[in-house]
Amino acid sequence: MTARVIDGKAVAAELRAGLKARIATLGYAPGLVVVRVGDDPASGVYVRNKDKAAKEAGFNSRTIHLPADTTQAALLARIAELNADPAVDGILVQLPLPAQIDTQAAINAVAPEKDVDGFHPMNAGKLASGQPGLVPCTPRGVMHLLKGTELRGARAVVLGRSQIVGRPMAQLLLAADCTVTIAHSRTRDLPAECARADILVAAVGRPEMVRGDWVKPGATVIDVGINRLADGRLVGDVAFAEAAERAAAITPVPGGVGPMTIACLLENTLDAAIARRGG
């Protein structure tokens, strides 16, 4: 068996085109502000890509770049200003933050209705209780990639338990009527647990940890991981070539889940704008 490769770039481009068409019918451009503190190189690339995609889709997007020695009080004050700004529909605080800033305090400071990352405890609580709210972008993107896959009654294993991906991913799959297991590095007989999955979502942050014989024949494999090896290559959490011999469908790295994260940030921003302003 050779797996069908799920093209995240194509799905993301289609989603962004749909958002652009919807924005064209509104009487305003939804406002997105990214707050970046310091000069983390990976964050810089990511923020530039976000800004480019947002502007191409018709959003009013800008980045506030604060110095690395910014105090927590100064950051919270800037977030408060954005919360009060009626032209701003979505606020994203780019992670990681410098050590002097409490990350959770920064997340909690963003108004829940403008929390387009979906990290605020109120949005996390809404997701857990099945209420509509803003959903973390990467799990939302995975659900787009799973369209066309039979989810009802499927056994899904989410490898990773982070608040950003693993836990919200499990909640979304549960809401789609999957039978869901959250596995992690301390799960007993992890390979066997993964091999039970009809849908395997790997988000553990370890390069090529999931081997081919961990994959159930015919499974759908979603690789959220992105890891740079010593030789400069980017790989996921799944050994792609091995897994592709057993899976029915699989996402590549790069070009799989990554493009969906930015597209779903824009989707969240449009949802937030319409909830606030109508349209």
Q: What pLDDT, on a 0 to 100 scale, did the predictor assign at position 274?
A: 97
Q: Tell me the mean pLDDT in the region 169-177.
A: 97
SS3 content of the chain, % helix, strand, coil (to 5): 40, 15, 40
**pLDDT tens figures, 43-74:** 888 889 999 999 999 999 999 999 999 999 99
Q: What pLDDT, on a 0 to 100 scale, did the predictor assign at position 40?
A: 87
**pLDDT tens figures, 117-137:** 999 999 999 999 999 999 999
Q: What pLDDT, on a 0 to 100 scale, did the predictor assign at position 248?
A: 98
Is the distance from CB of 116 to CB of 268 less than 8 angstroms?
Answer: yes
Q: Considering only residues 40 and 29, tell me which one the structure prediction assigns the higher pLDDT.
A: 29
**Residue 85 is a catalytic residue:** no
Is the distance from CB of 104 to CB of 235 less than 8 angstroms?
Answer: no
Is the distance from CB of 247 to CB of 218 less than 8 angstroms?
Answer: yes
Average pLDDT, the chain: 96
Q: What pLDDT, on a 0 to 100 scale, did the predictor assign at position 58?
A: 97
β partners of residue 90: 32
Distance CA 22, CA 207 (A): 38
Q: What pLDDT, on a 0 to 100 scale, did the predictor assign at position 278?
A: 84
Is the distance from CB of 115 to CB of 57 less than 8 angstroms?
Answer: no
Q: Which residue has the tokens 């909690």?
A: 108
Beta-strand relationship, 249-250 and 4-5: parallel
Is the distance from CB of 90 to CB of 83 less than 8 angstroms?
Answer: no
Residue 145 neighbours by CB under 8 Å, 6+ apart: 6, 8, 11, 222, 251, 256, 257, 260
User: 89, 114, 115, 117: which one is catalytic?
Assistant: 117
Which pair of tokens denotes residue 34?
């990214």
Region of poorest pLDDT, from 78-82, 86-90, 180-184, 274-278: 274-278
Percent of the chain predicted with pLDDT > 70: 100
SS3 195: coil
SS3 252: coil
**Residue 50 is a catalytic residue:** yes
**Residue 89 is a catalytic residue:** no
Position 1 pLDDT exceeds 70: no
Q: What pLDDT, on a 0 to 100 scale, did the predictor assign at position 279?
A: 77
Reply yes or no: is the peptide bond before residue 96 cis, omega within 30 of 0. yes
Reply yes or no: is the peptide bond before residue 254 cis, omega within 30 of 0. yes
The number of beta carbons lying within 10 Å of the beta carbon of residue 241 is 9
Q: Which of the 8 DSSP states describes residue 233?
A: -
One-letter identity of residue 202 = A
pTM for this predicted structure: 0.95
Position 254 pLDDT exceeds 70: yes
Q: Considering only residues 232 and 176, tell me which one the structure prediction assigns the higher pLDDT.
A: 176
Q: What pLDDT, on a 0 to 100 scale, did the predictor assign at position 45?
A: 84
β partners of residue 222: 201
Q: Tell me the mean pLDDT in the region 100-109.
A: 98
Is the distance from CB of 218 to CB of 1 less than 8 angstroms?
Answer: yes
